[in-house]
Amino acid sequence: MQENHFTPFQQSIAAYALPERFTFPFYYQPHPLCLLAAKELQTHLDTQTQWQHNFGLTGDTDTAIGKMFGVLLVQNKQGELGYLAAFSGKLADRNHLPNFVPPVFDMLAEEGFFLAGQAEINHINEQIKNLEDNPQIPVLELALKSEKNLASADIQTHRQLMIAGRKTRKNRRVSAQQTLTPEDFLQCKEQLSKESIQDKNQLRDLNVYWEARIHNAERQVDHVTAKLNTLKQQRKFLSANLQQQLFENYRFLNDKGVYKNLCDLFKDTPQRVPPAGAGECAAPKLLHYAFQQEMKPLAIAEFWWGTSPKSEIRQHLNFYAACQGKCQPILAHMLEGMSIDDNPLLTNPAEGKMIQIVYEDEAMVVINKPSEFLSVPGKSIEDSVYLRMKQRYPQASGPLIVHRLDMSTSGLMVIALSKAVHKVLQKQFINRTVKKRYVALLDGEITQQEGIIDLPLRVDLDDRPRQLVCYQYGKTAKTKWQVIERNKKQTKVYFYPITGRTHQLRVHSAHINGLNTPIVGDDLYGNKTSRLHLHAETLELDHPVTRESMHFQVEAEF
């Protein structure tokens, strides 16, 4: 008999109002009933003894793995209100645990194709490893490399001799033409031509000689690696087939009773192929189970439990939106036809806001950008600093925008009113001669007084526009910081960005290896409030025409 994963609330919820529409999963504030459900689930995680998993909350962080958990507020067929719970991926090396909904597809089922296919691939991996350990392979590969190097050197030496020979023959030809009789000069030319042909024939023979030696060395390498290469091709084929089977077996149900698998859901996306882990997040698991059991989904929320990962920003107990890359195509199908909260990202946040002009002349303008105001037009919202400046200065030429601030960041921006001025100002930013200081309010107490954060950043390909710390592919990102004051378990700091990467100050604040304290109001890396408490307070640069050093400062509103 299938286990019922519906969990009634432990306390009365009569005083709570139900959500009018389902959560927009990619940007939301958790509904109070979801907060209550999450609190009950967190108590369960703290007290349960049926399974063990190292979340890193007891001090052992070396092997710790934090997890994303989700709660789905539902109404069952009997009209009762309760919630479902799920975890992302596996937990305690298992797909099935008490009180949690099952996976959409159980790849760990003992009689399933996945474990059998994985076992076959693992067997091939063992064979490959054994063959790669053959001591003959590096010896023969080194011999092949040596033959190629010798061939290249020998042929290059002969080519140099041919060049020298051509030069000598040219001089001989000129001298002969000047000193010999016509008959003797003709004989001399024939001799010089024979010498040239002889050099070319020697080069041909040299190429044939070395090609034979290299081919022989390659045959010896191929002899010991033929089976290895065959096994690698076989592994590649089996892996691709196994992955395709997985994609086809991850089938997601929606409210209309329609199933779609991963192949169908991702075929029209830019990548076309589902990313690793697609379908294993908490949100698709929860919705799939609810629809299977004919429950009505009312609201959803997902939170992180455990130590922070080394790359992305995830902090214990914080709530996070569903990821765009893995979940957007899946959830778009699963929520089709349901009444969903409006997407706030489609609402113009700059409506009704004015841009303050701090400085203005014929060459440039310095403005104080409000928070929640785009620097340049977005995909769905045109209103921005660029548009407002274009409207205010219709005669201006060139790109106008010299540098950008995040939409949520307020503060100083410089605008160029001509192409020539834009080029001069942009060069100052590229050469890092422009001095900038930001002020930020952090959601915690920083014990140190100052320091430098050096964490390379790149975009999270599965969840744009979020940024990741990545030492392999990330771009250098450095920030100098200094504490201004501490008050009510919050810390106000100055930031001096040495580089200017996307979300640099926000990530350097929130990341476990940075200040490990998000900026107040950071809806991507911390907790949303009325605004992001980050402000570009000072700006120092040379005037693009007069070269005069200029200093601008606007105090933050927080």
Tokens of 413: 């921006």
Residue that is written with structure tokens 């990545």 in the block: 470
261: number of CA atoms within 13 Å, CB side? 11
Taking the C-alpha atoms of residue 370 and residue 348, their distance in angstroms, rounded to an integer, is 13
Taking the C-alpha atoms of residue 474 and residue 454, their distance in angstroms, rounded to an integer, is 11
Q: What is the Cα Rg of the chain in Å?
A: 34
Beta bridge partners of 365: 360, 415
Name the helix (H) or strand (E) containing 457: strand 457-459
Taking the C-alpha atoms of residue 231 and residue 238, their distance in angstroms, rounded to an integer, is 10
Query: Where do runs of H (alpha helix) occur along 180-315?
Result: 182-249, 262-266, 282-292
Residue that is written with structure tokens 């014929």 in the block: 362
What length is written for the chain?
558
Catalytic residue among 154, 342, 383, 406: 406
Q: What are the two backbone dihedrals, phi and then psi, of residue 221, each rounded to the nearest 5 degrees?
A: -65, -45
Q: What are the two backbone dihedrals, phi and then psi, of residue 403, each rounded to the nearest 5 degrees?
A: -145, 165
- Virtual torsion, Cα 280, 80, 27, 36, nearest 10 deg: -100
Closest among 506, 111, 42, 448 to 312, alpha carbons compared: 506
User: For residue 311, how far is the Cα from the chain centroid?
Assistant: 9
- Verify cis geometry, omega within 30 degrees of 0, for the bond prior to 465: yes
Closest among 43, 6, 99, 485 to 305, alpha carbons compared: 43
Tokens of 127: 């064979």
Contact (CB, 8 A) for 26 and 34: no
Beta bridge partners of 45: none
Q: Which residues contact 34 (CB under 8 A, 6 or more apart)?
A: 23, 71, 73, 83, 299, 300, 301
- Asked about 406 being catalytic, the answer comes back as yes
Kindly list the distances between the CA atom of residue 216 and the CA atoms of 142, 146, 204, 478, 548, in Å, as whole numbers in the listed order: 14, 13, 18, 53, 72
Please identify every residue annotated as catalytic: 406
